[in-house]
């Protein structure tokens, strides 16, 4: 199956991705960034560099550094007033050739990441691009060595990324796209499973760059050039999307004068409000062109890095009378949609088998109230796993098997799904052998089989759908709690295990001392007694100090080393005697 790339060929930045093993992913360039600047710098000999490296050359070499070429390839009719700081004719290139250089780099990024050649792609363009502009984009792709399988409108791609392709017939959405340099608003309608663009409007000269400039001008001392503060302004703007206040510090920006400026959200919002308000008329126009009232929209989605600004989100909610969907990364939504479209075309999205996994671990309660996991969470179903257990108490008549689900170390903190009472013939402690097997079928039905191996009696418990059918919120909460209490839980588990060991050790030591009392030296006896007291003290302490108890157990173990050896020797002698070999 041949891969198809999804490409967002943007005005400022471009992205490339692919569907890999059923998941749409965006690929990082050599700098580890998924956003690659749409910039090309040409040397005098006609060779060029592309991406971040080209952008770094812009300040020194503005006349030979091509940025925002999309504005030239995609000039909206009647809006050809953007004058680039470079002349393509002087450089000796065309918008298609420049775009091809960017696409070549994206292709190379993909091939490096995927370790294989790729030569097919889906490329996105603004909804308002006409035939000529779409064709020019396609040509650029072909010049870069890519077969362009489809040109997709950006709002359509974004809607795909937001999962809105599942909307039903005639449902309508608005896509509000505020990027670095342009603003686009589109109204789409779902018809026969495909999005139709009902209307588009926008402003090719409005975006995050204008906000950066407004900030730079507001902090610029009289007489200085605001351009030198634009970068710091952009960084501050981004911080203000999550922080209430930030500081712009430019020490000795001109060699002797420093600039230090505190700017809070309020000041920022006052400054940029007029810019954001300019989007309103475009939104209203797009709605009216589409013949759609705001309350007839089924969703409003956000695209473009500038929609991360909280005020933009509030403003969108105000215009459309509904909260926008902010579930996707606004600067990656278009690219992600292109990737999804590419995946659908290549068949790789259709062909993936959707496998369910167990949302939480499944297991049973064991000695001391501990959770014993049998199937860990995130195991792909269907699956089967099991373990062998024994009785903890002499003359136990039956075994209670509590089937549990959850991530906590102690059984009591997990959820009980059901229980089995398995009878078995009474015997000494540890004599029973009970196999417990968990099977989850493809429908998520859990079957617990408990078998007493001595009698071959089976007891089966079937639990419908619990294995996979757990409310997302409850699963989240369970996992969050397991992390939150991880330390306490672990301490409790270690404590319980140490306690079980101590409870086994103490009576055994007492019994051995009774049996060998005469053969044990006073020193040895007093060492053993001291160690045993320590274990008992730890065991009865009000605080569960797992470490202390473990250490006391260890000391008792060490102190009884010789005693244990003698016990074994005695047992062997007795056995040989019994068999008449001595
Ligand atoms: P795009 O064209 O979608 O890549 O958007 C780029 C614009 O989004 C630039 O003007 C960025 O400064 C702006 N931007 C990116 N991240 C943020 C953010 N966290 N807060 C505000 N603006 C942002």
pLDDT tens digits, residue range 473-490? 777 788 888 888 888 888
DSSP per residue, 370-436: EEEEEE-TTPBSSEEEEEEE--SSTT--EEEEEEEESS-SBGGGSEEEEEEEEE----STT---EEE
Q: Is 293 a residue whose pLDDT tops 90?
A: yes
Please check whether residue 466 is in contact with residue 443, taking contact to mean a CB–CB distance below 8 angstroms: no
> Rounded mean pLDDT of 434-461?
82
Q: Is 60 exceeded by the pLDDT of residue 355?
A: no
**What is the number of other CB atoms lying within 10 angstroms of the CB of residue 279?**
23
137 pLDDT band, cuts 50/70/90, is very high
The values of phi and psi at residue 397, to 5°, are -95, -30
- Once rounded to an integer, what is the mean pLDDT over residues 87-115? 96
Task: Name the 3-class secondary structure at 63.
Answer: helix
pLDDT score at 139: 94
Q: Whose CA is nearest to atom 18 of ligand 1?
A: 238
How does residue 350 score in pLDDT terms, banded at 50, 70 and 90?
low
Give per-residue pLDDT as tens, 362-416: 999 987 889 999 998 877 777 889 888 877 777 777 788 899 988 898 999 998 8
Distance 307 CA to ligand 1 centre (A): 7
Per-residue CA distances from 298 to 5, 293, 374 (Å): 30, 11, 45
Ligand 1 atom nearest 237 alpha carbon: 21
Task: Tell me the catalytic residues.
Answer: 8, 70, 154, 177
Judge whether residue 530 has pLDDT over 50.
yes
Cβ of residue 363 lying under 6 Å from some atom of ligand 1? no
Residues 363 and 439: their CA atoms lie apart, in Å, by: 11
Q: How far is the CA of 309 from the centre of ligand 1 (A)?
A: 8
What confidence score (pLDDT) does residue 455 get?
79
pLDDT tens digits, one per residue of 571-582: 777 777 777 765
CA angle 441, 447, 452 (to 5 degrees): 135
Structure letter (DSSP) for residue 242: T
How many angstroms does the Cα of residue 208 sit away from the middle of ligand 1? 6
CB atoms within 10 A of CB 476: 11
Give, for ligand 1, the residue of 158, 208, 239 to mutate: max count of ligand atoms closer than 8 Å to Cβ.
208
What is the predicted pLDDT for the residue at 552? 92
Which is higher by pLDDT, 200 or 335? 335
Q: What is the pLDDT of residue 354?
A: 41
User: Mean pLDDT, to the nearest integer, of 118-140?
Assistant: 89
Angle between helices 561-578 and 522-540 (to 10 degrees): 110
For the beta carbon of residue 508, count every other beta carbon within 10 angstroms.
Answer: 14
Residue ranges of domains in the chain, CATH in brackets: 5-355 (3.30.420.40), 362-470 (2.60.34.10), 487-578 (1.20.1270.10)
For the CA of 10, the closest atom of ligand 1 is 2
Say yes or no: CB of residue 184 within 6 Å of ligand 1.
no
Q: What is the mean pLDDT of the chain?
A: 87
Centre of ligand 1 to C-alpha 104, Å, is: 24
Residue 488 is predicted with a pLDDT of 84
Q: How many CB atoms lie within 10 A of CB 284?
A: 14
Query: Which tops the pLDDT comparison, 133 or 534?
Result: 534
Identify the pLDDT of residue 360: 80
- What pLDDT is recorded for position 41? 97
Name which of 273, 297, 266 is nearest 188 in CA terms: 297
Task: Name the closest-CA residue to atom 16, ligand 1.
Answer: 305
For residue 468, pLDDT beyond 70: no
Q: What is the model's pLDDT at position 323?
A: 95
Percent of the chain beyond pLDDT 70?
A: 95
- Pairing, β 383-389 against β 398-405: unpaired
Decide if pLDDT at 469 tops 60: no
Distance spanning both ends of the chain, measured CA to CA: 77
* Three-state DSSP class for residue 507: helix
Pick the residue with more confidence: 169 or 363? 363
Looking at the predicted structure, is the pLDDT value of residue 76 above 70? Answer: no
Q: How far is the CA of 211 from the centre of ligand 1 (A)?
A: 10
**pLDDT over 90 at 349, yes or no:** no
* Higher-pLDDT residue of 140, 80: 140
State the average pLDDT over residues 103-110.
Answer: 98
Q: How far is CA 453 from the centre of its chain?
A: 44
Residue 353 has pLDDT above 50, yes or no: no
- Per-residue pLDDT averaged across 86-108, rounded? 95
> What is the mean pLDDT of the segment spanning 248-269?
91
In terms of pLDDT, which residue wins out, 484 or 147? 147
Q: Is 265 in the pocket of ligand 1 (CB under 6 A)?
A: no
How much of the chain exceeds pLDDT 90, in percent? 48
Q: Is 240 in the pocket of ligand 1 (CB under 6 A)?
A: no
How do strand 299-303 and strand 172-178 relate by DSSP bridges? parallel
Q: Is the CB of 309 under 6 A from ligand 1?
A: yes
Six token digits for residue 311 = 């005020």
Q: What integer is the mean pLDDT of 11-29?
A: 91
User: Is it the case that residue 66 has pLDDT exceeding 80?
Assistant: yes
Q: Which of 306, 307, 314 to mutate to test ligand 1, by most ligand atoms within 8 A of the CB atom?
A: 306
Q: How confident is the model at residue 1 (pLDDT cuts 50, 70, 90)?
A: low
Quick one: how many helices (H) and strands (E) in the chain? 16, 23
């Amino acid at each position: 199956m041949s891969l198809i790339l999804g490409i967002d060929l943007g005005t400022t930045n471009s992205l490339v991705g692919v569907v890999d093993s059923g998941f749409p992913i965006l690929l990082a360039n050599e700098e580890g960034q998924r956003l690659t600047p749409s910039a090309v710098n040409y040397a005098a000999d006609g060779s060029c560099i592309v991406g971040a490296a080209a952008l770094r050359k812009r300040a020194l070499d503005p006349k030979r550094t091509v940025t925002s070429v999309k504005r030239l390839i995609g000039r909206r009719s009647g809006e050809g007033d953007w004058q680039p700081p470079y002349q393509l004719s002087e450089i000796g290139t065309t918008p298609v050739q420049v775009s091809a250089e960017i696409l070549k780099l994206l292709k190379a990024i993909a091939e490096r990441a995927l370790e294989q050649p790729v030569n097919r792609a889906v490329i996105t363009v603004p909804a308002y691009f006409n035939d000529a502009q779409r064709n020019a984009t396609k040509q650029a792709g072909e010049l870069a060595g890519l077969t362009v399988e489809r040109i997709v409108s950006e709002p359509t791609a974004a809607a795909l990324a937001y999962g809105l392709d599942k909307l039903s017939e005639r449902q309508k959405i608005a896509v509000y796209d505020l990027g670095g340099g342009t603003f686009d608003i589109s109204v789409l309608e779902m018809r026969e499973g495909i999005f139709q663009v009902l209307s588009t409007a926008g402003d090719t000269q409005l975006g995050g760059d204008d906000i950066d400039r407004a900030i730079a001008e507001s902090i610029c001392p009289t007489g200085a050039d605001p351009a030198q503060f634009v970068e710091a302004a952009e960084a501050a703007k981004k911080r203000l999307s999550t922080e209430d206040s930030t500081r712009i510090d430019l020490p000795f920006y001109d060699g002797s004068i420093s600039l230090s400026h505190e700017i809070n959200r309020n000041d920022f919002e006052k400054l940029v409000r007029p810019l954001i308000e300019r989007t309103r008329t475009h939104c209203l126009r797009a709605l009216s062109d589409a013949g759609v009232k705001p309350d007839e929209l089924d969703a409003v989605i956000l695209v473009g890095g500038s929609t991360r600004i909280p005020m933009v989100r509030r403003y969108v909610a105000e215009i459309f009378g509904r909260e926008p969907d902010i579930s996707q990364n606004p600067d990656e939504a278009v690219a992600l949609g292109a990737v999804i479209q590419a995946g659908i075309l290549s068949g790789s999205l259709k062909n993936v088998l959707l496998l369910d996994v167990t949302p939480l671990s499944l297991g049973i309660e064991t000695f001391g109230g501990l959770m014993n996991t049998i199937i860990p969470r995130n195991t792909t179903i269907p699956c089967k796993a099991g373990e062998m257990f024994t009785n903890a108490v002499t003359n136990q008549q039956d075994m209670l098997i509590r089937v549990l689900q959850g991530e906590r170390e102690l059984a009591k903190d997990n959820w009980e799904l059901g229980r089995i009472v398995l009878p078995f013939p009474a015997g000494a402690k540890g004599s029973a052998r009970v196999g417990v097997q968990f099977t989850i079928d493809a429908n998520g039905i859990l079957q617990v089989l408990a078998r007493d191996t001595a009698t071959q009696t089976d007891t089966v418990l079937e639990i419908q759908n619990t294995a996979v059918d757990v409310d997302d919120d409850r699963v989240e909460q369970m996992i969050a709690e397991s992390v939150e209490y991880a330390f306490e839980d672990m301490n409790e588990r270690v404590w319980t295990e140490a306690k079980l060991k101590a409870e086994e050790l103490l009576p055994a030591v007492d019994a051995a001392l009774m049996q060998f009392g005469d053969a044990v030296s006073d020193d040895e006896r007093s060492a053993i007694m001291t160690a045993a007291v320590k274990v008992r003290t730890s065991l009865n302490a009000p605080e569960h100090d797992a470490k202390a108890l473990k250490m006391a157990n260890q000391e008792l173990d060490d102190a009884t080393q010789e005693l244990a050896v003698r016990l074994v020797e005695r047992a062997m002698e007795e056995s040989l005697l019994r068999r008449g070999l001595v």
